[in-house]
Every structure is written in structure tokens, then in C-alpha cells.
Amino acid sequence: MTQSFLEGLAANRGSLAVTVVVPAKDEAQNLPILLDEIETALDGRRFEVIVIDDGSSDGTDIVLQDYAATHDWLRPIRHENSCGQSCAVRTGVQHARGDIVATIDGDGENNPAYIPKLLDALEAAGPAVALAAGQRLGRKASLAKRYASKFANKIRGAILRDNTRDSGCGLKALRREVFLQLPYFDSWHRFLPALVIREGYGVTHIDVQDRQRRHGTSKYGIFDRALVGILDLAGVWWLRRRRKKIPEVRALT
């Protein structure tokens, strides 16, 4: 971690209400539309948007640089090599200046209009709740992907008991200080409710309508994450079991 990065965090922490983190790979056509929608959704709020270009090869970096030239709330960051969605989200959280971090996928399938609803739900729930998680309705993915996702969510819910119907939805709002406490691993973003509960915080849920992507194709298939997903699930189950007690902390002076 560079000195300039640390100095930037110290100087800017808490200066914004919300940072929207957008992981993106090869989404040059979708991002300008999505960014316009985010600006409209957050009109009247103090916000910034961090888009992490995860090693794109379609000119996403140029599109982001051009957009940032006329929108000072956009902070584009690039991974020179693709490191995956979880790593991109983590990079965004590390660079965020907002007290609340909202996440949304860069493909346009998540509607930014739900971001204010997530923020309001998190605020209304109080400090004991650290995560407002979107849960998709009307999935637009293929029938095979919908069934695979439904099956995976049922297995995950039965084992982790995180009371979350759809942990894979990209729309979430999480208190940044809690975000940084969570143990990191690839595919970490798919287990955020369980990991937040492990830290002793609550989770609230908002139903969100899914929509079709406008351009491009999905970056993953049905079976390419199956084995890894099983191992990740076992790992999160182990992490949950190894957290025996949540301390109640109070100052003695």
C-alpha cells in the first residue's frame, strides 16, 4: 500500500455520504448509460462513483477517462490484469471516501434507481445493521442459469443460515468500516450477508427487479464456478463456526 494512498485515505475519510463501487470488465458500451443513471438516482446526495476496470480489452479505460473529464464525481481505477469481481470490489472499497459503500454490477442488469432505497433502508435499520442487500425478482438470465442460481442459493442458505434469498445480487449498501473487517477471498462478494452476520451485525433486504443487459454478454457460465463455489461455501461455513463470541466493548475511562 503506497504512502500517497494512505495519505489520501486519511485526508478524505468521511467527506462523502456514499461511494458507489462498480466492478467492470469489457463494459465500454454499458458504462456511460449506467453512470448517467447513477447520477440521476443520487441527485441531491453527496456521492462519488469508483469504477474498477478489471483488465478490460475493449477500450473501457478510454471510455472512463473521457467520462471522468466532464464528471468530477467519477474516479476510474484500472487493474492492468483481470483479477475478478471480488478483487475489483475490494479495490473500490479500499479507495472509497464515503461512510457507506454501495455496489452495483457494471453490466447494467442492476437498476441504479434502487441505490437510494438501499441507503434509506440501511439508515432506517440503525447501527446494529451493516448491510442492505438487494434480492432480485424477475431474473432475465437463461432458464439454466436461473435454476442453477436458485439451487446454489438454497444450498447456501441451508448451510450458512444467512436468511438471504439471493446473495449474488450486485446491488448492496454496506457500512465501509464493517466492509473492511470482513475476511477477503475470491468470490467473497457472493457471501457478504453471512460474513456480515459473522461480525455480529444484522442484514436487511430490498427486493429489486432484474433487467436485461443492453450490450455484450455475461462474463461467466453455469458450471465454471461450481467446484470453487463448493469450496468457498465450506470455507465460509468454517469461518462462521470459528467465530465463537462477539465481544461487547466499552471504555474504562
Using only the alpha carbons of the chain, give its radius of gyration: 18
At residue 13, the pLDDT reads 43
Answer for the pair 136, 169: CB distance below 8 angstroms, yes or no.
yes
Contact 31, 106 (CB under 8 A): yes
Is 69 in contact with 111 (CB distance < 8 Å)? no
> So what's the pLDDT on residue 14?
43
CA atoms within 13 A of residue 119's CA, in its CB half-sphere: 21
* Separation in Å, CA 243 to CA 69, 151, 192, 200, 227: 46, 27, 16, 10, 25
- At a CB cut-off of 8 Å and minimum separation 6, what does 58 contact? 26, 27, 28
Cell numbers of 89, please? 470490489
Per-residue pLDDT, 15: 47
pTM of the model: 0.82
In angstroms, the CA 173 to CA 123 distance is 10
DSSP assignment, residue 122?
H
Per-residue pLDDT at 226 = 53
Each residue's pLDDT tens digit, 4-37: 433 443 344 444 689 999 999 999 999 999 999 9
pLDDT, tens digit, for every residue of 129-140?
A: 999 999 988 765
At residue 5, the pLDDT reads: 37
Residue at grid coordinates 464525481: 73
The pLDDT-based confidence of 156 (bands split at 50, 70, 90) is confident
Which conformational region is residue 210 in: left (phi greater than 0), alpha (psi within -120 to 50 degrees), or beta?
Answer: beta
What confidence tens digit (pLDDT) does each residue in 29-72 have? 999 999 999 999 999 999 999 999 999 999 999 999 999 999 99
Residue 224, pLDDT > 90, answer: no
CB-based contacts of 87, cutoff 8 Å, min separation 6? 54, 79, 186
